[in-house]
Structure 1
């Protein structure tokens, strides 16, 4: 994950590149057709309705309103002119919004394909980015959409504080009781999300197979009858809940040997270690020198008041005489392992002659048993899409939602939208990495030195020609000066630049603490995954014919 500092450089570099390179591409609505495609064009409000409902927490029963604000706007870093997305604007708030389909989507005979983009513009914190495909018949009143609204499939990313995963959950109806139960893909894929635009794709087929993709790369494939918890079909036999273990059942496999006797020469009082009588005090040992002495260079602070603060005592430092001698102070004989030590005696363990084995309750037919061999075909129809989540991360952007039956069309839409953004974001990242190749320390090797050099170069140029400096260093001037002052603080930058002229730090005393230098951590630069559609190793997906 990139550090905050690297993210600042990335934004500055992208801003500088946009000022001098080719113009940005312009958004154009797709011509691909599907039961539902949403690109948040100007008429988006005709389809989407923010919720006015309330929700009650399962623990404690507290009631919350969906006060999280929604806006359709361009991302903070514009990659495509006119390309807007739905943004969850509020931090630490419950959000809910939904849109109905023109007609219900039935995927009992055709694949269900769901795809959309999510961009965590503020980076990772606790925040969901998943969507819900709502059961047909419950999507008509968007103002009442809440966590209790029935849904069929839930899919998408979730930052779980800490950690992350891509949810794939479906609600299956018990054909005997009529009750619904959530089935969770396990284990769920856990790709790195970052701050770039990411593409999430799910395909569910009538033959019960599924496929989960992240940025066009297949993360997991399988069968819904095998990879979900709890399992779709319950076990045919279960433990009898009324069966009890007999009181005389012996399930101890080993017991202490009742005939064993402690040997006469076994002494449990012998210590584990004894003084080494063969050890000799090293020559030159300073018996009369203490290991710690008052600091001879320490001075009583001027503000010290003997009446209020008591007698001033210099802080202790290591005795320098001890550094050139084998040791100081009273010499004590070292310890060694006691050859006579045996510890507490225990009788050896033997097989229990009365052992009957591990007790298990008898098995009986499961009264709730059923067998659904075609769960996908039996799922409810879908009537709409909703986003209902709680998040500590603001400005989560959703875009280019596809719900249909064609994985090929989803790939084409991804090529038109996400691939373009991915290439631009990858180019901006590559431009940042080029800075590491310039003269001076690289960001990876010495982050603070790298920042100091960039700021110093700009200050030197600005002292002679301020306007020219900003023109010559658009990324450094606008990005590094403004952003790094905001990130590290003006004082921190100035101190790092004029550190050689600082006064010596006074030695600690009773009322002062020695300053502790900050740790400098190196950043790991996450490689950008290529788009694709077959496996994690393949190249970007091209349009299928």
Structure 2
């Protein structure tokens, strides 16, 4: 039967799926990584949910949308809508990117549609004051990386928190050309940020390069990592007699004598003539000639019936009412006269304040040597739950990240196979049920015909029965 075919197809899908899933086993560790978190069952022994009173959101150890594609694999999921969530892990020893660079990589799976919220990581700045219990938005970080979506914002943040060697002040440096995140429900995507020892920053999504920038280029980050040598003098003011109007009305120009400012822009077409078929006295609207009173209309109870008013069909065909010539543009129209513009002889140019030496100037030639990282945190305020984090990796060597990325690619294919198998099995089952329904209806129709035929033959053989 069609149902048996459906189950046969499902078995084939599941067999292929099992083969794909076996080749995509969850990672437990990655050799060479400074930090790797697969969120195994004992994750709570390594991570601490913030005890800050503002962070009431819960974290759930949750399976993926298609667990058949990632058997036994779970991640850490945002558990509540419209609440602040914060969880962190502190390293035994700080990670120092100086001379090597840094790679941060993680997988993000959306179980619900993210409309307003973040799904990013924070690499926390190492210090003796780093508060594990009280991790919150104000906790100092070195890098913030990952998707953020709300209103007009929909991008993958990369923010470096940089310390000025001149003033000692910290400032956030935002990557300008941030890529658009992939946040489809039921899909897992890999986010990678690579800070090279050559001071480049490369962002990848699913192993595909999206942005490459430089910490040394002033056009790549806002504000730039290295400030300008000179700045506008804040005390310099534009002189009162400075003329910055480049063009003025020609003082020698005058309005021509034949210039009529009062002439209308539009006039009636002098060449237009009223059509001979035009109906001057015909009304614009008439009772609907095709309308009839309802069958249940009672004039004694409902009053005299009146047809609804409709546009006069004759007006549409011939035109009716008072005829007016159509409007055309007035060939004599010139509008209000204004003097032509000429160069201003007093013009001095666009005024700019003079430049002075920037008291906050510095030149950091190795900004990749960022503040050492003492831990990692996920601190979010999101209107939707369902963002699932997994396989977080931090390394000073790109090689471990590539190993994790290859494992992600295999699991991603298994996840897609699981989704496709489920959809195809559901479609096959739907078609089978539809065929069963049609077969049942056809059978019932045939039985009804046979019954009617039998009754007709019986009535023909026993006419006396019908008379009784």
CA shift, 1:183, in A, is: 0.1
Partner residue in 1 for 2:436:
461
Equivalent runs, 1:435-514 vs 2, <5 Å: 458-459=433-434, 461-462=436-437
The TM-score, its normalising length taken from structure 2, stands at 0.80
Report 1:341-380 matches (<5 A). 341-377=333-369, 379-380=370-371
1:30 deviation in Å?
3.4
Equivalence for 1:444: none
Tell me the distance in 2 between the aligned counterparts of 1:135 and 1:311.
Answer: 88
Shift of 1:426: 3.6
* Preserved contact between residue 30 and residue 404 of structure 2 (Cα < 8 Å): no
Partner residue of 2:62 out of 36, 53, 73: 73
1:35 and 1:102 in contact (8 A); partners too: no
Q: Does 1:278 align with 2:282?
A: no
User: Which residue number corresponds to residue 259 of structure 2?
Assistant: 266
What TM-score results when the alignment is normalised by the length of structure 1?
Answer: 0.70
The correspondence of residues 204-353 of structure 1 with structure 2, limited to 5 A, is 204-226=195-217, 227-290=220-283, 292-293=285-286, 297=291, 317-323=310-316, 325-353=317-345
CA RMSD of aligned residues (A): 3.3
Q: Return the match for 1:114 from 104, 112, 119.
A: 104
Whole-angstrom distance in 1 between the partners of 2:62 and 2:352: 61
- Residue of structure 2 in register with 1:398 after alignment: 389
Residues 287 and 351 of structure 1: CA distance in aligned 2, closer, same or farther (over 3 Å): same
Deviations 1:489-534 (A, max 9, x none): xxxxxxxxxxxxxxxxxxxxxxxxxxxxxxxxxxxxxxxxxxxxxx
Structure having the larger proportion of residues in strand: 2
Tell me if the contact between 1:67 and 1:95 (Cα under 8 Å) persists in the aligned partners.
yes
Contact in 1 for aligned 2:182/2:189 (Cα 8 Å): no
Residue 275 of structure 1, CA deviation: 0.4
* Mean Cα deviation higher: 209-218 or 423-432: 423-432
Q: Secondary structure at the match of 1:112?
A: strand
Cα distance in structure 1, aligned partners of 2:92 and 2:276: 95
1:201 matched residue in structure 2: 192
Alpha-carbon spacing, 1:163–1:328, altered in 2? closer, same or farther (3 Å) = farther
**How does 1:91-102 map onto structure 2 within 5 Å?**
91-102=81-92
Counterpart Cα distance in 2 of 1:314 and 1:89: 64
Query: Which is further off, 18-27 or 210-219?
Result: 18-27
Gap runs ≥5 in structure 2: 1-8, 442-468
1:31 to partner: Cα distance? 4.8
Aligned residues of 1:300 and 1:314 also touching (Cα < 8 A): no
**Deviation digits for residues 64-87 of structure 1 (CA, Å, limit 9, x no counterpart):** x21111011212321211100000
Deviation at 1:460, TM superposition (A): 5.3
Aligned residues: 419
Residue 297 and residue 399 in structure 1: after superposition, are their counterparts in 2 closer, same or farther (change >3 A)?
Answer: farther
The 10-residue stretch of structure 1 (129-138 or 419-428) with the greater mean CA deviation from structure 2: 419-428
Look up the SS of the partner of 2:115 in the other structure: coil
- Could you tell me which residue of structure 1 aligns to residue 37 of structure 2? 38
Instruction: Show the counterpart of 1:489.
Output: none
Distance 1:223 1:301, change over 3 A: farther
The verdict on how the C-alpha distance between 1:312 and 1:137 changes in structure 2, with shifts beyond 3 A counting, is: farther
- How far the C-alpha of 1:215 sits from its partner, in A, is 0.3
TM-fit CA distance, 1:185:
0.4
Which residue of structure 1 aligns with residue 451 of structure 2?
A: none
| Superposed CA offset, 1:334-392 (max 9, x none) | 01111111111111211112222222211111122111111222x21101100011112
Report the Cα distance in structure 2 between the residues aligned to 1:415 and 1:298, rounded to whole angstroms.
Answer: 77
Aligned to 2:376: 385
Rounded to whole Å, the distance in 1 between the matches of 2:338 and 2:105 is 66
**Contact persistence 1:73–1:85 (CA under 8 A):** yes
User: Measured at CA, do residues 18 and 364 of structure 1 come closer, stay the same or move farther in structure 2, by a change above 3 Å?
Assistant: same
Q: Secondary structure at the match of 2:244?
A: coil
Change (3 A) 1:290 1:175: farther
**Higher-RCO chain (CA-CA 8 Å, sequence separation at least 6):** 2
Distance 1:395 1:242, change over 3 A: same
CA distance in 2, matches of 1:212, 1:246: 48
Pick from 146, 154, 163 the counterpart of residue 156 of structure 1. 146
Superposed CA deviations along residues 439-463 of structure 1, whole A, max 9, x for unmatched, are xxxxxxxxxxxx9x99687355247
Structure 1's unaligned 5+ residue stretches are 1-13, 55-64, 436-450, 467-545
CA, structure 1 residues 454+346, in 2 after alignment: closer, same or farther (shift >3 Å)? Answer: farther
Q: Is the 8 A contact 1:27 1:80 kept in 2?
A: yes
Q: Look up the SS of the partner of 1:143 in the other structure.
A: coil
Q: Distance in 1 between matches of 2:248 and 2:261?
A: 22
Post-superposition Cα deviations, 1:180-225, rounded to whole Å, max 9, x if no partner, equal: 0000001111244322100001111222112111100011112111
Larger radius of gyration, structure 1 or 2? Answer: 2
